[in-house]
């Protein structure tokens, strides 16, 4: 559910027309609904209210500090995967004791920064990483709190690129090696083992994979506790999907109904890491039609947004609905490719899409773009990054200015030998 709705023939975000926002910031631009993010966070938080838990928002989905501040004010923590994300989370006011640091490749500098910031814990992915964290903590005279990430070999039934819980994945420690790794971790003087972590993938549309993974993790936790390890946290990851087209993912309350009876036996505080499900349908990318082009076998709608602004269609062949900002029921429907200006054949927002044929100057809204939209954007073809706008009721807040050409070369220099 989201707050982008038509009032008459015009698309609005909450109480503000999209056309009015575009008049202020131009195109392309990202627009987010405060009300949608607020509602989606509490859908998770309230669904698990009977179980001690932390909602640690997976900020790789959308890391704008305005969005992070909104969530932090509601009580959210953060799931981070880099030192840069830690910096953003702290700047936005996320409490350090609600921050968990995941990812397979943490550098010594990032580990040092996280220990200095006194984050809740690291999610450890390998023996090598565990040793690195131990060495850094030892040099700092600290003990690092860690959870070991277990790969349960569960098929999440999602796109291969966002499936993380199978044996062939780079993520986590194989389930049959888990006890050995926990034993090693428990022997390290500057490591405090506090939890078990599991995350099987993203854009999950079924509850069953969650249930299967949690059963495996619970069995491991009981074994570890019987061996004297004080496992205080069980991190169940995130990955609940959203509706992009015709998917019907479970609501957080449906997920809670399926897994809460299991979680209540864990005697642990639960950490969950939703990302896409909080912000995905809370954002759109607005683009302007530049031209229509009649190809030999195809009709192309060329717009001013491109794969550098929204990579998901090019990377995953992901589907995003595309809606006119101003509807005209008399517009004929054609099958078109919606493509951007970038010099790549893979630069498209939609292929073979049946839609009302837009004309030059028309505005189109690329829906469900709040997650993995701006965070995956680049300056490819030296294109300035788009602005980001947050709307609350009738208030328009620019939470990132559009980049300028000068921004593109900031930090670059021409060697003196060429001057």
Total-model pTM: 0.92
State the catalytic residues: 343
CA distance 164 to 365: 31
* Sign of the alpha-carbon torsion through 18, 71, 103, 237: negative
Which of 18, 19, 13, 54 minimizes the C-alpha distance to 37?
13
Give burial (CB, 10 Å; 0-12/13-18/19+) of 246: exposed
Across the chain, which has 419 residues, the per-10-residue mean pLDDT values are 92 98 98 98 95 96 98 98 98 98 95 98 94 98 96 57 43 75 93 91 80 87 88 90 83 88 88 95 98 92 98 95 95 95 97 95 98 98 98 98 98 94
**Angle 34-47/65-73 helices, nearest 10 degrees?**
40
CA distance 74 to 143: 30
Q: What is the pLDDT of residue 219?
A: 87
Q: Which domains does the chain have, with CATH numbers?
A: 4-31+280-408 (2.40.37.10), 34-278 (3.20.20.10)
Gap between the terminal Cα atoms of the chain: 57
Tokens (6 digits) for 264: 């209540």
3-state secondary structure of 53: strand
Q: What is the pLDDT of residue 154?
A: 66
Tokens (6 digits) for 81: 């995967």
Q: What is the pLDDT of residue 171?
A: 55
């Amino acid at each position: 559910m989201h707050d982008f709705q038509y009032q008459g023939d015009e698309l609005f975000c909450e109480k503000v027309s999209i056309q009015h926002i575009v008049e202020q910031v131009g195109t392309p631009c990202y627009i987010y609904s405060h009300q949608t993010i607020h509602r989606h966070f509490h859908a998770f938080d309230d669904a698990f209210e009977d179980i001690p838990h932390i909602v640690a928002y997976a900020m790789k989905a959308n890391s704008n500090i305005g969005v992070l501040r909104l969530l932090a004010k509601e009580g959210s923590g953060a799931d981070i995967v880099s030192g840069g994300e830690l910096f953003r989370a702290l700047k936005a006011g996320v409490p350090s004791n609600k921050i968990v640091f995941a990812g397979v490749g943490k550098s010594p500098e990032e580990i040092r920064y996280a220990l200095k910031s006194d984050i809740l814990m690291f999610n450890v992915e390998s023996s090598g990483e565990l040793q690195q964290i131990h060495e850094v903590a030892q040099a700092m005279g600290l003990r690092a709190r860690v959870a070991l990430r277990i790969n349960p070999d569960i098929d999440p039934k999602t796109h291969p690129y966002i499936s993380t819980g199978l044996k062939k994945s780079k993520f986590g420690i194989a389930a049959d090696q888990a006890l050995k790794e926990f034993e090693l971790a428990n022997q390290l003087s500057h490591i405090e083992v506090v939890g078990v972590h599991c995350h099987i993938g993203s854009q999950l549309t079924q509850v069953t994979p969650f249930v299967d993974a949690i059963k495996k993790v619970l069995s491991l936790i009981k074994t570890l506790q019987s061996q004297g390890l004080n496992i205080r946290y069980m991190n169940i990851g995130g990955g609940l999907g959203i509706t992009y087209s015709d998917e019907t993912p479970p609501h957080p309350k449906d997920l809670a109904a399926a897994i809460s009876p299991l979680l209540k036996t864990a005697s642990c505080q639960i950490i969950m890491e939703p990302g896409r499900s909080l912000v995905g349908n809370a954002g759109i990318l607005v683009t302007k039609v530049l031209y229509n082009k009649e190809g030999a076998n195809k009709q192309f709608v060329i717009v001013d947004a491109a794969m550098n602004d929204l990579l998901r269609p090019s990377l995953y062949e992901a589907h995003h609905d595309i809606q006119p900002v101003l509807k005209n029921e008399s517009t004929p429907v054609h099958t078109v490719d919606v493509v951007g200006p970038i010099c790549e054949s893979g630069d498209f927002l939609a292929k073979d899409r049946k839609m009302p044929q837009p004309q030059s100057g028309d505005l189109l809204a690329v829906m469900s773009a709040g997650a993995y939209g701006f965070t995956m954007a680049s300056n490819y073809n030296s294109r300035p990054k788009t602005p980001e706008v947050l709307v609350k009721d009738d208030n328009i807040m620019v939470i990132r200015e559009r980049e300028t050409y000068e921004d593109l070369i900031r930090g670059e220099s021409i060697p003196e030998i060429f001057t």
